[in-house]
Homo-oligomer: A and B are copies of this chain.
Amino acid sequence: MANPKAAMLVIGDEILSGRTRDSNLWHLAGELTRAGIDLTEARVVGDAHATIVAAVRALSTSHDYVFTSGGIGPTHDDITADAVAEAMGAAISHRADAMALLRAHYDRQSLPFNEARQRMARIPDGAVLIDNPISVAPGFILGNVHVMAGVPNIFESMLASVLPRLTGGAPLLSQNLRVMRGEGEIAGDFGRLAEEYPDLSMGSYPFQQNGAFGTNLVIRGTDPGRLDQAMMRLVGMFG
Contact = CB atoms under 8 A, between A and B. Distances in A.
Contacts of A28: 18
A16 B40 contact: yes
B45 A41 contact: yes
A96 to B, nearest CB: 19
B114 A184 contact: yes
B116 A75 contact: no
Given A22-B25, A22-B26, A26-B18, A190 B75 contact: yes
Interface stretch (A83-91, A203-211, A228-236): A203-211
A110 to B, nearest CB: 13
A223 interface: no
A23 B21 contact: yes
A205 B42 contact: no
Contact of A204 (B18, B44, B75): B75
Contacts of A101: none
Given A47-B203, A114-B184, A204-B73, A18 B22 contact: no
A158 interface: no
Contacts of A25: 15, 22, 44
B17 A187 contact: no
A58 to B, nearest CB: 10
Given A42-B43, A43-B43, A187 B74 contact: yes
A154 to B, nearest CB: 9
Contacts of A21: 23, 26
Given A41-B43, A114-B188, A77 B202 contact: yes
A33 B205 CA distance: 29
Interface in A140-194: 151, 172, 174, 182-188, 190-191, 194
A104 B22 CA distance: 40
A22 B8 CA distance: 15
26 contacts: A13-B201, A13-B220, A14-B203, A15-B25, A15-B29, A16-B38, A16-B42, A17-B29, A18-B33, A18-B39, A22-B25, A40-B51, A41-B45, A41-B51, A43-B43, A43-B44, A47-B203, A75-B190, A75-B203, A77-B194, A77-B203, A114-B184, A116-B184, A116-B187, A116-B188, A151-B206
